[in-house]
Amino acid sequence: MSTKAFSHSSFQPTIISLTYATLSFHKGDTIRLVSFPQPIIVSIESLIKRIHPSGIQSSGPCGSAFDYKLKGRPFGEHYLLEDYVNGIRIVRDILALLAESNWELVAQPLCSTRHTAKDTLIFRRREPPRQVVDREFLALVPMRHDKLRIVYDVDGIELPSSGYEVTPDLGHIGTIIAELRQMLFEMDYFDEAHWSYESFEFTMKGSPWRSSGEESIKKGVLLLRLLEAMETVGWRLHTTFVHKTGTDRENNLDTWFFVRERRANRGGKGSETSSLTAVATCK
Protein backbone atom coordinates (compact mmCIF):
# COMPACT_ATOMS: atom_id res chain seq x y z
CA MET A 1 0.00 0.00 0.00
CA SER A 2 1.43 3.37 -0.97
CA THR A 3 2.60 5.82 1.69
CA LYS A 4 1.96 8.73 -0.69
CA ALA A 5 -1.30 10.57 -1.27
CA PHE A 6 -3.45 8.36 -3.46
CA SER A 7 -5.43 9.69 -6.40
CA HIS A 8 -8.84 8.11 -6.91
CA SER A 9 -9.43 9.76 -10.28
CA SER A 10 -8.04 6.89 -12.40
CA PHE A 11 -8.43 4.09 -9.85
CA GLN A 12 -10.95 1.32 -10.40
CA PRO A 13 -11.30 -1.10 -7.46
CA THR A 14 -11.32 -4.85 -7.99
CA ILE A 15 -14.97 -5.95 -8.05
CA ILE A 16 -14.97 -9.61 -7.02
CA SER A 17 -18.74 -9.79 -6.59
CA LEU A 18 -21.51 -7.51 -7.83
CA THR A 19 -23.68 -8.54 -4.89
CA TYR A 20 -21.42 -8.89 -1.84
CA ALA A 21 -18.62 -6.82 -0.30
CA THR A 22 -16.72 -6.82 2.99
CA LEU A 23 -15.53 -4.26 5.51
CA SER A 24 -12.90 -5.21 8.08
CA PHE A 25 -10.43 -3.66 10.53
CA HIS A 26 -6.79 -4.70 10.83
CA LYS A 27 -3.92 -4.08 13.22
CA GLY A 28 -4.75 -0.95 15.21
CA ASP A 29 -5.14 1.48 12.37
CA THR A 30 -6.40 -0.03 9.10
CA ILE A 31 -9.81 -0.11 7.40
CA ARG A 32 -10.04 -2.67 4.57
CA LEU A 33 -12.67 -2.67 1.83
CA VAL A 34 -13.19 -5.58 -0.56
CA SER A 35 -15.42 -5.34 -3.64
CA PHE A 36 -17.02 -1.99 -2.84
CA PRO A 37 -17.38 0.38 -5.82
CA GLN A 38 -15.29 3.52 -6.19
CA PRO A 39 -17.98 6.00 -4.95
CA ILE A 40 -18.13 4.16 -1.61
CA ILE A 41 -14.33 4.20 -1.25
CA VAL A 42 -14.20 7.95 -1.99
CA SER A 43 -17.06 8.69 0.42
CA ILE A 44 -15.36 6.76 3.23
CA GLU A 45 -12.18 8.79 2.73
CA SER A 46 -14.16 12.04 3.12
CA LEU A 47 -15.85 10.61 6.22
CA ILE A 48 -12.50 9.70 7.84
CA LYS A 49 -11.05 13.14 7.18
CA ARG A 50 -14.11 14.80 8.71
CA ILE A 51 -14.11 12.73 11.90
CA HIS A 52 -10.45 11.86 12.58
CA PRO A 53 -8.30 14.99 13.12
CA SER A 54 -5.08 12.95 12.97
CA GLY A 55 -5.95 12.06 9.39
CA ILE A 56 -4.91 9.27 7.02
CA GLN A 57 -1.34 8.00 6.96
CA SER A 58 -1.67 6.18 3.63
CA SER A 59 -4.25 4.65 1.31
CA GLY A 60 -4.37 2.51 -1.77
CA PRO A 61 -4.88 -0.99 -3.19
CA CYS A 62 -3.70 -3.97 -1.16
CA GLY A 63 -4.06 -7.05 -3.33
CA SER A 64 -7.73 -7.15 -4.34
CA ALA A 65 -8.69 -4.90 -1.40
CA PHE A 66 -8.45 -1.18 -0.74
CA ASP A 67 -6.89 -0.06 2.57
CA TYR A 68 -6.99 3.14 4.57
CA LYS A 69 -4.20 3.28 7.16
CA LEU A 70 -5.09 5.91 9.74
CA LYS A 71 -2.73 7.91 11.91
CA GLY A 72 -2.89 6.90 15.57
CA ARG A 73 -4.39 3.59 16.72
CA PRO A 74 -8.19 3.98 16.81
CA PHE A 75 -8.69 0.19 16.58
CA GLY A 76 -5.67 -0.88 18.60
CA GLU A 77 -4.88 -2.42 21.95
CA HIS A 78 -2.89 0.61 23.12
CA TYR A 79 -4.65 3.84 22.19
CA LEU A 80 -5.41 7.41 23.12
CA LEU A 81 -9.01 7.69 24.30
CA GLU A 82 -9.67 10.49 21.82
CA ASP A 83 -8.49 8.29 18.93
CA TYR A 84 -10.63 5.40 20.18
CA VAL A 85 -13.78 7.54 20.41
CA ASN A 86 -13.07 8.92 16.93
CA GLY A 87 -12.67 5.32 15.74
CA ILE A 88 -16.14 4.52 17.10
CA ARG A 89 -17.53 7.51 15.21
CA ILE A 90 -15.84 6.36 12.00
CA VAL A 91 -17.29 2.85 12.27
CA ARG A 92 -20.74 4.19 13.16
CA ASP A 93 -20.79 6.61 10.24
CA ILE A 94 -19.50 3.99 7.77
CA LEU A 95 -22.47 1.80 8.77
CA ALA A 96 -24.78 4.76 8.19
CA LEU A 97 -23.18 5.52 4.81
CA LEU A 98 -23.51 1.92 3.62
CA ALA A 99 -27.13 1.69 4.78
CA GLU A 100 -27.92 4.92 2.94
CA SER A 101 -26.17 3.51 -0.16
CA ASN A 102 -28.33 0.34 -0.07
CA TRP A 103 -25.69 -2.03 1.30
CA GLU A 104 -27.32 -4.35 3.82
CA LEU A 105 -25.27 -5.97 6.60
CA VAL A 106 -25.89 -9.73 6.44
CA ALA A 107 -23.19 -11.29 8.67
CA GLN A 108 -20.24 -10.39 10.87
CA PRO A 109 -18.15 -13.56 11.29
CA LEU A 110 -14.83 -13.88 13.10
CA CYS A 111 -12.58 -15.40 10.45
CA SER A 112 -9.30 -15.79 12.32
CA THR A 113 -8.02 -17.62 15.40
CA ARG A 114 -5.44 -14.91 16.20
CA HIS A 115 -6.07 -13.13 19.52
CA THR A 116 -5.79 -9.78 17.75
CA ALA A 117 -8.48 -10.68 15.17
CA LYS A 118 -11.57 -8.57 14.63
CA ASP A 119 -14.88 -9.40 12.99
CA THR A 120 -15.38 -9.12 9.22
CA LEU A 121 -18.59 -7.41 8.10
CA ILE A 122 -20.28 -8.88 5.01
CA PHE A 123 -22.67 -6.62 3.10
CA ARG A 124 -25.14 -7.39 0.33
CA ARG A 125 -26.19 -4.84 -2.25
CA ARG A 126 -29.97 -4.47 -2.31
CA GLU A 127 -32.41 -2.70 -4.60
CA PRO A 128 -33.15 0.90 -3.60
CA PRO A 129 -36.35 1.09 -1.54
CA ARG A 130 -39.41 2.76 -3.01
CA GLN A 131 -39.48 5.16 -0.08
CA VAL A 132 -36.23 6.74 1.11
CA VAL A 133 -35.77 6.37 4.87
CA ASP A 134 -33.64 8.79 6.85
CA ARG A 135 -31.68 6.77 9.42
CA GLU A 136 -29.24 7.72 12.14
CA PHE A 137 -26.88 5.54 14.14
CA LEU A 138 -25.70 5.57 17.73
CA ALA A 139 -23.03 3.56 19.54
CA LEU A 140 -23.14 2.16 23.05
CA VAL A 141 -19.64 1.07 23.91
CA PRO A 142 -18.91 -1.16 26.91
CA MET A 143 -15.29 -0.48 27.84
CA ARG A 144 -12.76 -1.83 30.31
CA HIS A 145 -14.54 -3.74 33.10
CA ASP A 146 -17.15 -1.22 34.20
CA LYS A 147 -17.75 1.49 31.56
CA LEU A 148 -20.58 2.16 29.13
CA ARG A 149 -20.12 5.06 26.70
CA ILE A 150 -22.73 6.70 24.46
CA VAL A 151 -21.34 7.93 21.14
CA TYR A 152 -24.08 9.93 19.43
CA ASP A 153 -23.74 13.27 17.66
CA VAL A 154 -26.62 15.71 17.60
CA ASP A 155 -26.97 17.90 14.50
CA GLY A 156 -26.55 21.57 15.38
CA ILE A 157 -25.63 20.91 19.02
CA GLU A 158 -22.10 21.19 20.42
CA LEU A 159 -21.72 18.45 23.01
CA PRO A 160 -19.57 18.96 26.14
CA SER A 161 -15.97 17.74 26.24
CA SER A 162 -15.90 17.48 30.02
CA GLY A 163 -18.08 17.85 33.10
CA TYR A 164 -21.12 16.07 34.47
CA GLU A 165 -24.17 18.19 33.64
CA VAL A 166 -26.89 17.06 31.24
CA THR A 167 -28.88 20.18 30.30
CA PRO A 168 -32.23 20.41 28.43
CA ASP A 169 -30.60 22.10 25.41
CA LEU A 170 -28.75 18.86 24.55
CA GLY A 171 -31.84 17.46 22.85
CA HIS A 172 -32.33 13.75 22.25
CA ILE A 173 -29.03 12.61 23.76
CA GLY A 174 -30.22 14.02 27.06
CA THR A 175 -33.28 11.77 26.82
CA ILE A 176 -31.07 8.73 26.15
CA ILE A 177 -28.79 9.55 29.08
CA ALA A 178 -31.74 9.98 31.45
CA GLU A 179 -33.28 6.65 30.41
CA LEU A 180 -30.04 4.69 30.80
CA ARG A 181 -29.16 6.42 34.07
CA GLN A 182 -32.56 5.49 35.53
CA MET A 183 -32.15 1.89 34.42
CA LEU A 184 -28.67 1.66 35.98
CA PHE A 185 -29.97 3.20 39.22
CA GLU A 186 -32.79 0.65 39.39
CA MET A 187 -30.32 -2.21 38.97
CA ASP A 188 -27.90 -0.73 41.52
CA TYR A 189 -25.21 -0.46 38.84
CA PHE A 190 -24.88 3.34 38.66
CA ASP A 191 -21.70 4.75 40.20
CA GLU A 192 -20.90 7.97 38.32
CA ALA A 193 -21.01 9.54 34.86
CA HIS A 194 -19.27 12.29 32.91
CA TRP A 195 -18.61 13.79 29.47
CA SER A 196 -15.37 13.38 27.52
CA TYR A 197 -14.58 13.87 23.82
CA GLU A 198 -18.20 14.88 23.09
CA SER A 199 -19.51 11.53 24.34
CA PHE A 200 -21.02 10.42 27.65
CA GLU A 201 -19.64 7.64 29.83
CA PHE A 202 -21.23 5.76 32.73
CA THR A 203 -19.07 4.03 35.34
CA MET A 204 -20.86 1.06 36.90
CA LYS A 205 -20.43 -0.57 40.29
CA GLY A 206 -18.49 -3.80 40.24
CA SER A 207 -17.04 -5.13 37.00
CA PRO A 208 -20.03 -6.31 34.96
CA TRP A 209 -18.01 -6.90 31.79
CA ARG A 210 -15.76 -9.26 33.74
CA SER A 211 -18.34 -10.91 35.97
CA SER A 212 -18.82 -14.61 36.70
CA GLY A 213 -21.26 -16.78 38.61
CA GLU A 214 -24.41 -15.05 39.86
CA GLU A 215 -23.02 -11.65 38.85
CA SER A 216 -22.86 -12.82 35.23
CA ILE A 217 -26.60 -13.63 35.45
CA LYS A 218 -27.22 -10.07 36.64
CA LYS A 219 -25.15 -8.87 33.68
CA GLY A 220 -27.46 -10.84 31.37
CA VAL A 221 -30.43 -9.02 32.89
CA LEU A 222 -28.56 -5.74 32.35
CA LEU A 223 -28.30 -6.48 28.63
CA LEU A 224 -32.05 -7.09 28.37
CA ARG A 225 -32.82 -3.92 30.31
CA LEU A 226 -30.40 -2.01 28.09
CA LEU A 227 -32.21 -3.11 24.94
CA GLU A 228 -35.58 -2.23 26.48
CA ALA A 229 -34.35 1.19 27.56
CA MET A 230 -33.04 1.97 24.07
CA GLU A 231 -36.31 0.86 22.46
CA THR A 232 -38.20 3.11 24.88
CA VAL A 233 -36.41 6.14 23.41
CA GLY A 234 -36.79 4.96 19.80
CA TRP A 235 -33.69 2.88 19.04
CA ARG A 236 -33.38 -0.77 18.04
CA LEU A 237 -30.26 -2.91 17.93
CA HIS A 238 -28.73 -3.03 14.46
CA THR A 239 -25.64 -5.17 15.05
CA THR A 240 -22.76 -5.92 17.42
CA PHE A 241 -19.19 -6.79 16.47
CA VAL A 242 -15.54 -6.52 17.49
CA HIS A 243 -13.53 -3.85 15.67
CA LYS A 244 -10.77 -3.27 18.25
CA THR A 245 -7.74 -5.43 18.96
CA GLY A 246 -7.77 -7.62 22.07
CA THR A 247 -4.75 -8.90 23.97
CA ASP A 248 -3.28 -12.33 24.62
CA ARG A 249 -4.84 -12.22 28.11
CA GLU A 250 -8.18 -10.58 27.50
CA ASN A 251 -10.73 -10.67 24.68
CA ASN A 252 -12.17 -7.46 23.40
CA LEU A 253 -15.81 -6.49 23.74
CA ASP A 254 -18.39 -6.14 21.00
CA THR A 255 -19.53 -2.64 20.21
CA TRP A 256 -23.30 -2.34 19.94
CA PHE A 257 -24.79 -0.26 17.14
CA PHE A 258 -28.36 0.98 17.29
CA VAL A 259 -30.43 2.62 14.57
CA ARG A 260 -33.58 4.67 14.33
CA GLU A 261 -35.55 6.12 11.44
CA ARG A 262 -36.50 9.76 11.21
CA ARG A 263 -39.41 11.35 9.36
CA ALA A 264 -39.80 15.10 9.05
CA ASN A 265 -42.80 16.58 10.84
CA ARG A 266 -45.50 17.99 8.59
CA GLY A 267 -44.89 21.37 10.18
CA GLY A 268 -41.28 21.18 9.03
CA LYS A 269 -39.71 21.60 12.48
CA GLY A 270 -37.98 18.80 14.30
CA SER A 271 -38.52 15.19 13.42
CA GLU A 272 -40.59 12.20 14.35
CA THR A 273 -38.59 9.09 15.12
CA SER A 274 -39.20 5.41 14.99
CA SER A 275 -36.60 2.70 15.64
CA LEU A 276 -33.01 3.55 14.62
CA THR A 277 -29.59 2.00 15.17
CA ALA A 278 -27.13 2.62 18.00
CA VAL A 279 -23.90 1.02 19.14
CA ALA A 280 -22.94 -0.75 22.39
CA THR A 281 -20.09 -3.04 23.44
CA CYS A 282 -20.25 -6.06 25.74
CA LYS A 283 -19.76 -9.78 25.68
pLDDT reported for residue 27: 86
- Quick one: average pLDDT of 24-42? 92
Tens digit of each residue's pLDDT (9 = 90 or more) over 138-152? 999 998 889 999 999
Taking the domains of the chain in order of start, what are their residue ranges?
20-125, 134-280
Q: Which is more confidently placed, 5 or 55?
A: 55
For residues 27 and 95, the answer to whether their CB atoms sit within 8 Å is no
Q: Which is more confidently placed, 113 or 47?
A: 47
pLDDT reported for residue 263: 55
- Please report which confidence band the pLDDT of residue 277 belongs to, taking 50, 70 and 90 as the band edges: very low
Q: Which residues contact 189 (CB under 8 A, 6 or more apart)?
A: 204, 205, 206, 208, 222
In angstroms, the CA 229 to CA 233 distance is 7
Q: State pTM to two decimals.
A: 0.84
| Residue from 103, 78, 141 nearest 20 by CA | 103
Which fold does the domain 20-125 belong to in CATH? Answer: Alpha-Beta Plaits (3.30.70)
- Quick one: average pLDDT of 56-78? 88
- Please report which confidence band the pLDDT of residue 43 belongs to, taking 50, 70 and 90 as the band edges: very high
pLDDT reported for residue 250: 58
Q: What is the gyration radius of the CA atoms in the chain, in angstroms?
A: 19
Residue 278 has pLDDT above 60, yes or no: no
- Please report which confidence band the pLDDT of residue 14 belongs to, taking 50, 70 and 90 as the band edges: low
Percent of the chain scored above 70 by pLDDT?
82
- Quick one: average pLDDT of 187-204? 93
